[in-house]
Every structure is written in structure tokens, then in C-alpha cells.
Amino acid sequence: MEKKNHSHSLTSMNIDDVYQKVELLNHGELCEVYSCKYMMKHNKQFVALKIYDNTKVSKEEWTKEVDLLLNVSHDNCISFLASSQAEEVSYIVMELSEGQNLQQILDASESKTLEQKHAANCIYHILRGIRYLHKHGIVHGNICYQNVVYHAPTNVWKICGFGSATLKQNNLKYTKESFPRVKEFLAPELEKESEEQWDLELIDEWGLGIVMYLVLVGEAPWKGENREIEWDKVNNEVATSLLAQLLTVNSKRLKAEEALKHRWFIEQLQEKTYFTGHIFLQD
């Protein structure tokens, strides 16, 4: 996919001359995200502008995120457009998804779920994005429903929120502190103090399993500290089969490549639907 390059570095320009803020989309501890008009084009393209507080995010952390995003170009991942650093704040410019994130979509639904075919469409697209990232040695590190957005113009689900992403490096010890994220989506191996070797990439498949359970059931798979999954609430044996292979110990967890071949997708995505809905994308 060709990037809509805004010339990756904006250091020679005043950021306010290039991007006109329209709406505050998200206010977090480390950064604010605005929808903005890109003022250097006649059609005034809309983008997402992330503004980082340099007292809370180090230059090394910001640079790591930019370097990772420069290497991401896939239909199911939000596109990086440009970056800039000033004395007090740093900026990353991203493609703006013309739709809501998955949490907002579920919250607006009376059932708090998606229909089976729409759920399969969503999970299929996220898995494609995860497979792409892992093939390029990138671990997203924070797959959750806040970091999945629906791109309305193309009927495609996309992964966003790359602040916790990292390159997979062998022989490094990772803990939950390595991947600050919503506890409900945290893979169990990150919570254990163990020298056991496990596949770092598979923390993304675990997060995807939690997302899948949420879109099918409308609530988390367990309550409190007791991690006993309530399988009977899924109401679909084939979907339960896939979930059981995602929400399992790291050594037995299904990789994205294998998960994409699961019978649940074959059954649910036999015809073109809209979420509007499903389109098969070529790799």
C-alpha cells in the first residue's frame, strides 16, 4: 500500500501552519490525539495528530515508535505519515480512520456484541494485520478493542495504537512493565515471574482472543482475579474452538498464520457482507 507521505520530517515547518486542529479525539497520560486538517493540500485531507509531552515520553521512546511505524505498510494497519520534534512536545501524524474504534462500536450496540459474520470479519482483518507485523519482526504489544478501528470508506478494520510496539529480540526478558496495557488484555505469561522461554509474538494473539470473546459475548471472559473462562456464553462451537486455541498457554497458542485458516472464517465469510462488512484483501 502506498503511503500518503507528508514528507516524514516536519522539523523545518511550524506544525500549526501544516495541521489545523479540529477535534480532541483522545487525552491520555502520555499524549493527546487530535483530528486535524492537513493545510498543505487544496482538498484539506484529515489526519490524526498525536502530541507527546516530552517530560513524560523520552526521545528514545518516541524515536522507537517512529522507527517502527516507518516500516508498517498494510491494509489492516493505520498508516504513518510524518513526525516532528520540538523542545516541549513531539508529534506523530497518522492516517485518520473515518470511523469509531471497536470499544465505541460495542458500547453503542444494544447487545454490546457484533453479529457472527461481522465479528468474523473484524477478527479476520485484525489477524491479517498481526500476521503482517509478525512477519516483519514487530510485536504490537497492546491488541485490545480500543486499538482496533473501523475504516468506513473501505469497510476495513485496522490496528492502531503502536506506542507499546517493539521489535522481537531473542534472549530478552519481557514482563508486564514492558507492555503497559489494559489488564484484561494482558497475556498470562507476562504476569509470571519465570525463566521459562516463550514466544513474545503470541501476546498479540492472546489480546486478539480477548477481543474476539468481547465481540461475541459482550463482556470479558472472566470476572475478577479468577481466570476461568465462561465458554458456554459463546454459543457457537466453531468459534469456541478458535477461541480455545487463542486463549491458552503460550506454547499451545495458535499463531495468526494458522488462525486465519480456521473453519469459523470459512463458514462465516462465504459471501460478501458489510458492517457493513467483509472484503477479502490480497496480501
Question: CB 259: neighbour CB atoms within 10 A?
Answer: 23
Tens-digit pLDDT profile for residues 14-51: 787 888 999 988 777 788 889 899 887 666 788 999 99
Domains of the chain by start residue, with CATH: 18-95 (3.30.200.20), 102-268 (1.10.510.10)
If we measure between CA atoms, which residue out of 100, 81, 85, 2 comes closest to residue 36? 81
The CA-to-CA distance between both ends of the chain, in Å, stands at 10
Q: Which of 166, 211, 168 is nearest to 187 (CA)?
A: 211
**197 band by pLDDT with thresholds 50, 70 and 90:** low
Specify the pLDDT at position 10: 59
Nearest Cα to Cα of residue 275 among 168, 68, 108, 121 = 121
Percent of the chain with pLDDT over 90: 50
What pLDDT score was predicted for residue 171?
44
* Among 102-111, 204-213, 216-225, 238-247, the least confident range: 216-225
| pLDDT of amino acid 167 | 82
Q: In this prediction, what percent of the chain has a pLDDT beyond 70? A: 82
Contact status, residue 230 vs residue 179, Cβ threshold 8 Å: no
Q: Coil, strand, or helix at residue 251?
A: helix
More confident residue, 211 or 59: 211
